[in-house]
Amino acid sequence: MENNQDSRPFIFDAHLDLSMNALEWNRDLRWSVEEIRGSEKGKKDKPDRARGTVSFPSLREGNIGLVKGTQIARYTKKSNQLPGASWNSPEQAWAQTQGQLAWYQAMEDDGQIQQITNLTELDEHLTHWQSDPGNCPIGMIRSLEGADSLVTLKHLEKAYADGLRAIGPAHYGPGTYAQGTDAKGGMGQPGRDLLREMELLNIVLDTTHLCDESFWEALDYFNGPVCASHNNCRALVPHHRQFSDEQLKELISRGAIIGAALDAWMLTPNWIRGQSTPQGEGVTLNSVVDHIDHICQLAGNSCHAGIGSDLDGAFGTEQSPADLETIADLQKIPMILKERGYSPADITNICSANWIRFYREAWG
């Protein structure tokens, strides 16, 4: 999709932690990236202070008119404390996600974003952005990253009624409904019950962060629409956070889209946390396209690769491709694809059409 006021490809970014940045990082995403960075100079509480890449103006600058915005609040038991955004009870985690929902609603009231929950809203948004992008809110499909905040399945029904349309059952570590990155094991009965309810509500299953055992169990039990919003390739970077070719082929066979993530450690096999730099390891947007290309080669076409940048997902320019200053630089990806011989139709697929088709089919 291209709009008549911008010849650059329209981009759908399938994973942005917008509300987490607003509430936990205290970033007003209506400011420019430069203003946000300026407000954080000298702060040391988080490693990416003054290095953020995402704001509403930068999304518009990059013709990124459709995104998946997350809610995220992990619950960890006393015996299994994890660093980062973890809460000591599922009720606290639920309350955190409700604060994030309130922020999304406030940004919708302010005209910054428009929540999209069905096919009619999706098509109306795309038409509006194409004809008048300057006066069109950024479209947002809401996703839950990690399901620990769902105290009961009644909470899932409430979240769906409020507009939630995708769930990744796990994040990092052991979870209530599935096991995530750095954990092992299957989903068990609570996870199966969650999948059954998701299927009844037609909520998309996002397999990102599922450990191998939970991944295969989820696909065995879930018959609804499946994707991997921000996931790279184990064949290129051998780590269990990535998916193997076997897993990617299974997703492709299920009609999934796999969104390439831009976290530098997921783009090179040589990354050492706390020591490596994107410049030192040669991590660029070409590295991102390597993963996109690998998925296209596995599929035999361009119909299953997309973008799920995860930019500012608790990292900034210190852990982003070296040639990316703000999220607007996602527009360099179609240029790299063109240099590699991808056709205009292929580039449109990868930038947005695949994700748009996926949600049209899911909601059709």
Quote the pLDDT of residue 84. 55
* pLDDT at residue 264, as a whole number: 98
Q: Are 249 and 294 in contact (CB under 8 A)?
A: no
Q: How confident is the model at residue 122 (pLDDT cuts 50, 70, 90)?
A: very high
Residue 4's pLDDT is 42
Only one residue has tokens 């702060």, namely: 43
pLDDT value of residue 79:
63
The pLDDT of residue 294 is: 98
Mean pLDDT of 270-288: 95
Q: Which two tokens stand for residue 25?
A: 């990082």
Three-state SS for the chain is: CCECCECCCCEEEEEECHHHHHHCCCCCCCCCHHHHHHHCCCCCCCCCCCCCCCCHHHHHHCCEEEEEEEECCEECCHHHCCCCCEECCHHHHHHHHHHHHHHHHHHHHCCCEEECCCHHHHHHHHHHHHHCHHHCCEEEEEEEECCCCCCCHHHHHHHHHCCEEEEECCCECECCCCECECCCCCCHHHHHHHHHHHHHHCCEEECCCCCHHHHHHHHHHCCCCEEECCCCECCCCCCCCCECHHHHHHHHHCCCCEEECCCHHHCCCCCCCCCCCHHHHCCCHHHHHHHHHHHHHHHCCCCCEEECCCCCCCCCHHHCCCCCCCHHHHHHHHHHHHHCCCCHHHHHHHHHHHHHHHHHHHHC
pLDDT, position 240: 95
Please give the pLDDT value at position 239: 96
CA–CA dist 29, 57 (Å, integer): 8
Copy the structure tokens of residue 120.
């009619």
Q: Evaluate whether 164 touches 90 at the Cβ level (below 8 Å).
A: no
Give, in degrees to the nearest 5, the angle at Cα 54 between 51 and 60: 145
What proportion of the chain, given as a percentage, has pLDDT over 90?
93
Would you state the pLDDT for residue 58? Answer: 98
Q: Which residues contact 207 (CB under 8 A, 6 or more apart)?
A: 168, 215, 218, 219, 226, 227, 228, 231, 243, 251, 256
What average pLDDT does this structure show over 33-41?
98
User: With contact defined as beta carbons under 8 Å apart, do 129 and 136 qualify?
Assistant: yes
Distance, CA of 344 to CA of 337 (rounded, Å): 9
Tell whether the model's pLDDT for residue 155 goes beyond 60: yes
Are the CB atoms for 353 and 1 separated by under 8 Å? yes
Taking residues 109-135, report their average pLDDT: 97
pLDDT bucket at 6, cuts 50 / 70 / 90: low
* Whether pLDDT at 209 is above 70: yes
Count CB-CB contacts under 10 A for residue 216. 17
Judged by average pLDDT, the poorest of 22-36, 78-92, 295-309 is 78-92
Class of domain 11-363: alpha beta
The confidence score (pLDDT) of residue 7 equals: 84
What are 44-65's pLDDT values in tens digits? 999 999 999 999 999 999 999 9
The reported pLDDT for the residue numbered 86 is: 81
Q: Mean pLDDT, to the nearest integer, of 247-267? A: 98
> To the nearest whole number, what is the mean pLDDT of the chain?
95
When pLDDT is averaged across residues 348-363 and rounded to a whole number, the result is: 98
| pLDDT tens digit sequence for 216-254 | 999 999 999 999 999 999 999 999 999 999 999 999 999
- Distances in Å between the Cα of 125 and the Cα atoms of 74, 107, 117 are 31, 16, 11
